[in-house]
Amino acid sequence: MPNAPLQRRIAALQRITDQAQGIYDILDAERGPVKVADIQQRLRIGGQEYRLARQHLTSILTDDVYITQDGLVLKKYVQTMNQRFWHLAWSLGLLEVSGQQLVMDEDLLARAPAALTAVWNQGKIGADAARLRLLQGRARERVGTLLKLADMYRRIDRQLGLFLLPYVTTKDWNQGLRQIKDQLGTLP
């Protein structure tokens, strides 16, 4: 006899997957931004079902779904730089707020490796290598994203630093070159 709770979870996951596919199909057919309310109406789903399906869709298609002020749109159909600028500003705002919130719990995050070890030692994680590889892969993906963002901010900081360098004050070529080298050495 099949496990009833497991069967219900499998059915729920299938509904979420089907709804995520429905969202993708709508976005692909429209070839432009679609408001959340329109997606919910077309799929006949509520807010919670929509959020779960959208989260599922964006976790699979991490680089394909843009969230803009005009609605969701597939990246290949982003039509204006305005949509991209809005998306960038919105994303950077989310990063700033979530980063500040995460730093508030820095002490808990620092304890995460020890907590994982404790859960492992208690036998609650299990030795399922596939599951552990999946968790490790997700952790590495997040690190990759953070490294990309850190590199972007480093390049912006360096460019701003170049703008703030004082001008060369001498007319002597060798002395001017020395001043430039000294100033560049102060940049990160």
Total number of domains constituting the chain? 2
Mapping DSSP onto H, E and C, the string for the chain reads: CCCHHHHHHHHHHHHHHHHHHHHHHHHHHHCCCECHHHHHHHHCCCHHHHHHHHHHHHHHCCCCEEEECCEEEEHHHCCCHHHHHHHHHHHHHHHHHHHHHHHHCHHHHHCHHHHHHHHHHCCCCCCCHHHHHHHHHHHHHHHHHHHHHHHHHHHHHHHHHHHHCCCCCCCCHHHHHHHHHHHHCCCC
Choose the final residue of a domain: 104, 135, 168: 104
The CATH number linked to 31 is 1.10.10.10
10 shares its domain with 86: yes
Choose the final residue of a domain: 85, 104, 123: 104
Is the pLDDT score of 39 beyond 90? yes
16 shares its domain with 98: yes
Section 153-162 average pLDDT: 82
Residue 181 belongs to domain spanning: 112-188
Report pLDDT for 139.
85
88 shares its domain with 116: no
49 shares its domain with 130: no
Report pLDDT for 170.
67
Report pLDDT for 70.
81
